[in-house]
Amino acid sequence: LAKTTQPISMDSYEGQEVNITCSHNNIATNDYITWYQQFPSQGPRFIIQGYKTKVTNEVASLFIPADRKSSTLSLPRVSLSDTAVYYCLVGATNDYKLSFGAGTTVTVRA
Amino acid sequence: DAGITQSPRHKVTETGTPVTLRCHQTENHRYMYWYRQDPGHGLRLIHYSYGVKDTDKGEVSDGYSVSRSKTEDFLLTLESATSSQTSVYFCAISESGQKQETQYFGPGTRLLVL
């Protein structure tokens, strides 16, 4: 399993863009990069997934450089409700087990 | 939201007591998972199932057993609960079990072992 490293915590203010970078130096060729979001007292939920370049959906954007050794989750114009823990996961197609680290706690202030 | 329920949602028990947590899904997904979440550790996989009566261990399986007799139900049993098993337990499901496949999580069960 590819090991991931992401910041423990980040603070932001409403309306700002939040960028969370995840390092995964030993990512394998067939690994995908997936981000989950977890609100207090809830289970994680899928945000976005990518393999290379850029992926965007209604919630976030995911930027992956050519070497794929890192990725950046971008949350545009955050609100108080975006306060959550964000997990970066890296893994291949034939592995059933997701490996969650401690994640990044994002706190959005008014 | 995916149809996943967990029961009970909260439980207080005493050391040495057997405890069974239930995960029920209405999505007919093949794969089901049990995780525990503790401060500073993120989520850690306990056991998972890739079909009826097909289960395998995760990274923290000691002290836990599981059973899956029907597609929709995945049971986690603590044969003799210990204080170290105080945690929040999450069940998850996925359709194919492939890592890029989204896992859908239940609401969690908060377990306190005294």
- Rounded Cα distance between B54 and B21, Å, is 18
Instruction: Please answer yes or no on whether A97 and B40 come within 8 Å at the CB atom.
Output: no
Instruction: Please answer yes or no on whether B48 and A97 come within 8 Å at the CB atom.
Output: yes
Are the beta carbons of B98 and B48 closer than 8 angstroms?
A: no
**What is the full per-residue pLDDT of chain B (114 aa) written as tens digits?**
569 999 999 999 999 999 999 999 999 999 999 999 998 778 889 999 999 999 999 889 999 999 999 999 999 999 999 999 999 999 999 887 665 678 899 999 999 999
Which residue from B42, B56, B103 is facing A101, i.e. has the nearest CB? B42
| Residue A22 Cα distances to A1, A60, A110, B37, angstroms | 15, 15, 26, 21
Which residues of chain B does A89 touch, with a Cβ-Cβ cutoff of 8 Å?
99
pLDDT band at A100 (very low <50, low <70, confident <90, very high): confident
Instruction: Please answer yes or no on whether B100 and A34 come within 8 Å at the CB atom.
Output: yes
Which residues of chain A does B92 touch, with a Cβ-Cβ cutoff of 8 Å?
43
Please give the residue of chain A at the shortest CA–CA distance from B103: A46
